[in-house]
């Protein structure tokens, strides 16, 4: 209303033209003409009455959509229909305006048609300006652009990926090159980024790549267990951006553009043969990027980070996160789980249950419903089993306590011949443990009969060359251990003599005797 009063003053007191008034008030001539037509239609003169305030003046001039309601209102287009039609292939605003004018020749012109549609469309997707508190959010993503690495030995070209992390409040940026976007590179890039910032933000905001999010969901995204484990170690939380909503991570989207323009573009003529060489070049340009002054704000990214984000970050833990993978495993009937063709024991009462295993370079941890139930040093080389005695049932623990020395010590209590039988049994096996059951069977015979009878049976078993549990049991069952041993089993058998029997002397000759064909034939 102030400008209308000023327009009336300039028109009637100073006698200026509409062009001069428009230039003075920074309005269009059409607006000045519209205001003057409304004033004349309302019958308002100059000077204005003292009792006419701004509200009364506004009601008099704008009570109708046209000055003095002299003109009929122009038909308004159906903007929802216009918006829907624009989604069709080949349909433009010019075509829709042409159809509108064919229906309403007295309608609005093309420029007004476009302006009004754009104003209407802006209300469909209102963008909320995000406020980033100091030390709150770290946005992470990969750049779409890659950098070629050349293998000097083979000449093969491999595309290096560019990982980027941006602090929300200060825009302080970290970038590095990795061999891939796989889980190990994704996790180790986070570890190095947090070390670069020297602290931990409250929230990590990634995109929905598979290395970070197993399954994207608006309500409950399924995070990768290793990524969740990293956030837990550093005391942070992960909130992935919504699918196909780049504004959720606008900070890193802009950070990607800046890194591509101020770092990757400057390296476009360089040839790199290793990741280390490429990261050294990125690190040097990254220092320049963070020190580059803002255009509309005082300072730069580094100074703003030191003032805002750095004091608000949580301290890093004493130990950096050790990369670990998670795997679902099932307990076998022998209460072991299989990981990389090696076997690790768990409590025997968890047989056939599905558990979660956490695999690091040095350890294997097994969890049941979030509780750790087993921990082993990771096996490498030829060793294939890691079994803890406390995981075994009682009868298996007692069996494990048996050793060859223990069997031999027990056998000596019965007698030396029993000890010799035990030693013969253990030595006859490829591995001593294979003979443990036979030894236990011999021990059972002592309880069934007596130590003296077992000793006598072992003596007889050794004499006949059959020191086995089966032979010893047969001797005891037949009572042969109570009979006297024969010194010579065949001393009463007469020696057989015949002209065709050569005798033992034949085989002790120093040189073989010649036997004629006739003699051998006669024989």
Q: Which of 44-53, 151-160, 165-174, 475-484 has the lowest mean pLDDT?
A: 44-53
State the burial class of residue 523 (Cβ atoms within 10 Å of its Cβ: 0-12, 13-18, 19+).
Answer: exposed
- Identify the three-state secondary structure at position 206: coil
From the list 178, 197, 192, the residue with the least C-alpha distance to 230 is 192
Q: What does DSSP say about strands 157-167 and 237-238: parallel, antiparallel, or unpaired?
A: unpaired
How confident is residue 430, by pLDDT bands cut at 50, 70 and 90? low
For residue 332, give both structure tokens: 């076998």
User: Mean pLDDT throughout 507-511?
Assistant: 50
Q: How far apart are CA 430 and CA 116, in angstroms?
A: 93
Bond preceding residue 47 cis, omega within 30 of 0: yes
State the burial class of residue 303 (Cβ atoms within 10 Å of its Cβ: 0-12, 13-18, 19+).
Answer: middle
- Range of 110-124, 215-229, 281-295, 476-490 with top mean pLDDT: 281-295
Phi, psi of 300 (to 5 degrees): -145, -175
Between the alpha carbon of residue 359 and those of residues 303, 337, 457, the distances in Å are: 41, 13, 55
Output the CA torsion 460→466→470→474 (10° steps). -40
Are 61 and 34 spatial neighbours (Cβ–Cβ below 8 Å)?
no
Share of the chain above pLDDT 70, in %: 84
Are 342 and 359 spatial neighbours (Cβ–Cβ below 8 Å)?
no
Q: Which of 38-47, 432-441, 488-497 has the lowest mean pLDDT?
A: 488-497
Confidence (pLDDT) at 70 = 45
Q: Which of 180-194, 212-226, 309-323, 366-380 has the lowest mean pLDDT?
A: 212-226
Confidence (pLDDT) at 89 = 65
> Is the pLDDT score of 346 beyond 80?
yes
| pLDDT tens digits, 489-507 | 444 445 556 666 666 665 5
Beta bridge partners, 161, equal 178
Q: How far apart are CA 85 and CA 83, in angstroms?
A: 6
Token pair 């170690």 is found at 233
For residue 59, give both structure tokens: 């009601």
CB neighbour list of residue 124: distance below 8 Å, 6 or more residues apart: 83
> Is the pLDDT score of 129 beyond 60?
no
> Is the pLDDT score of 315 beyond 60?
yes
> Of 190 and 241, which is predicted with more confidence?
190
Confidence (pLDDT) at 294 = 86
Q: What is the edge-to-edge ordering of all strands in the sheet holding 336-339?
A: 336-339, 342-345, 385-386
The DSSP code sequence of 43-77 is T--SSPPTT--HHHHHHHHHSSSSGGG-SPPPPPP
> Is the pLDDT score of 451 beyond 70?
yes
Token pair 């701004």 is found at 54
User: Mean pLDDT throughout 402-425?
Assistant: 87
R_g (Cα) of the chain, nearest Å: 48
**In degrees, to the nearest 5, what angle opens at C-alpha 152 toward C-alphas 148 and 156?**
50
For residue 152, give both structure tokens: 């000097």
What does DSSP assign to residue 14?
S
> Is the pLDDT score of 517 beyond 50?
no
Token pair 């602290």 is found at 199
Confidence (pLDDT) at 17 = 87
State the burial class of residue 102 (Cβ atoms within 10 Å of its Cβ: 0-12, 13-18, 19+).
Answer: exposed
Confidence (pLDDT) at 97 = 93
Q: How far apart are CA 423 and CA 417, in angstroms?
A: 10
Confidence (pLDDT) at 505 = 62
Q: How far apart are CA 25 and CA 22, in angstroms?
A: 5
> Is the pLDDT score of 107 beyond 90?
no
How confident is residue 466, by pLDDT bands cut at 50, 70 and 90? confident
Are 116 and 108 spatial neighbours (Cβ–Cβ below 8 Å)?
yes
Q: Which of 105-109, 136-140, 470-474 has the lowest mean pLDDT?
A: 105-109
Share of the chain above pLDDT 90, in %: 39
Are 425 and 434 spatial neighbours (Cβ–Cβ below 8 Å)?
no
Residues in the chain: 523
For residue 512, give both structure tokens: 């073989």
> Of 190 and 132, which is predicted with more confidence?
190
> Is the pLDDT score of 516 beyond 60?
no
Mean of pLDDT over the chain: 83
The DSSP code sequence of 395-461 is HHHHHHT--HHHHHHHHHHH-HHHHHHHHHHHHTSSSGGGGHHHHHHHHHHHHHS-HHHHHHHHHHH
How confident is residue 486, by pLDDT bands cut at 50, 70 and 90? low
For residue 263, give both structure tokens: 């770092």
For residue 477, give both structure tokens: 């069952």
How confident is residue 66, by pLDDT bands cut at 50, 70 and 90? very low
> Is the pLDDT score of 513 beyond 50?
no
How confident is residue 432, by pLDDT bands cut at 50, 70 and 90? low
CB neighbour list of residue 250: distance below 8 Å, 6 or more residues apart: 130
Between the alpha carbon of residue 303 and those of residues 131, 197, 256, 259, 292, the distances in Å are: 19, 13, 20, 19, 10
**In degrees, to the nearest 5, what angle opens at C-alpha 89 toward C-alphas 84 and 93?**
60
CB atoms within 10 A of CB 168: 26
> Of 518 and 247, which is predicted with more confidence?
247
Q: How far apart are CA 489 and CA 493, in angstroms?
A: 9
Q: How far apart are CA 164 and CA 137, in angstroms?
A: 14
Question: Which H or E run includes 158?
Answer: strand 157-167
User: Mean pLDDT throughout 246-261?
Assistant: 85
């Amino acid at each position: 209303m102030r400008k209308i009063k000023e327009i009336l003053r300039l028109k009637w007191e100073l006698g200026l033209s509409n062009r001069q008034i428009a230039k003075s008030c920074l309005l269009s001539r059409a607006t000045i003409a519209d205001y003057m037509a409304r004033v004349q239609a309302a019958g308002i003169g100059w000077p204005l009455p003292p009792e006419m305030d701004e509200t009364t003046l506004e009601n008099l001039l704008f009570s109708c959509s046209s000055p003095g309601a002299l003109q009929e209102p122009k038909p308004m287009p159906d903007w929802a229909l216009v918006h829907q039609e624009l989604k069709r292939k080949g349909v433009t605003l010019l075509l829709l305006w042409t159809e509108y004018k064919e229906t309403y020749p007295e309608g609005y012109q093309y420029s007004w048609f476009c302006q009004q549609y754009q104003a209407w469309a802006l209300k469909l997707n209102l963008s909320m300006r995000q406020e980033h508190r100091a030390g709150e959010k770290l946005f992470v993503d990969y750049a779409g652009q890659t950098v070629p690495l050349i293998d000097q030995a083979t000449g093969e070209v491999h595309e290096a990926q560019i990982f980027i992390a941006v602090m929300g409040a200060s825009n302080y940026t970290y970038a590095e090159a990795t061999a891939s976007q796989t889980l190990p590179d994704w996790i180790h890039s986070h570890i190095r980024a947090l070390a670069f910032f020297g602290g931990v933000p409250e929230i990590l905001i990634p995109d929905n790549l598979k290395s970070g999010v197993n399954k994207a969901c608006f309500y409950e995204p399924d995070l990768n267990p290793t990524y969740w484990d990293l956030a837990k170690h550093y005391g942070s939380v992960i909130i992935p951006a919504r699918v196909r909503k780049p504004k959720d991570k606008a900070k890193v989207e802009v950070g990607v553009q800046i890194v591509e323009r101020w770092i990757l573009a400057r390296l476009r003529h360089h040839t790199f043969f290793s990741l280390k060489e490429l990261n050294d070049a990125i690190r040097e340009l990254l220092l320049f990027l963070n020190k580059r002054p803002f255009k509309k704000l005082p300072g730069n990214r580094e100074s703003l980070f030191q003032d805002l984000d750095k004091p608000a970050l949580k301290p890093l833990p004493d130990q950096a996160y050790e990369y670990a993978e998670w795997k679902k495993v099932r307990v076998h009937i022998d209460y072991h789980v299989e990981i990389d063709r090696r076997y690790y024991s768990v409590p025997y009462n968890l047989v056939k249950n599905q558990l979660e295993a956490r695999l690091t370079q040095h350890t294997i941890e097994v969890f049941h419903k979030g509780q750790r139930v087993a921990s082993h040093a990771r096996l490498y080389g030829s060793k294939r089993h890691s079994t803890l005695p406390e995981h075994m049932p009682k009868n298996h623990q007692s069996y494990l306590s048996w050793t060859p020395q223990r069997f031999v010590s027990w056998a000596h209590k019965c007698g030396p011949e029993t000890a010799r039988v035990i030693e013969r049994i253990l030595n006859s096996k490829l591995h001593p443990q294979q003979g443990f059951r036979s030894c236990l069977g011999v021990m059972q015979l002592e309880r069934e009969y007596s130590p003296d009878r077992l000793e006598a049976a072992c003596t007889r078993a050794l004499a006949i060359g059959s020191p086995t549990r089966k032979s010893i049991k047969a001797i005891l069952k037949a009572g042969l251990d109570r009979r006297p041993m024969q010194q010579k089993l065949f001393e009463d058998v007469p020696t057989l003599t015949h002209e065709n029997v050569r005798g033992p002397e034949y085989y002790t000759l120093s040189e073989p005797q010649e036997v004629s064909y006739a003699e051998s034939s006669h024989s």
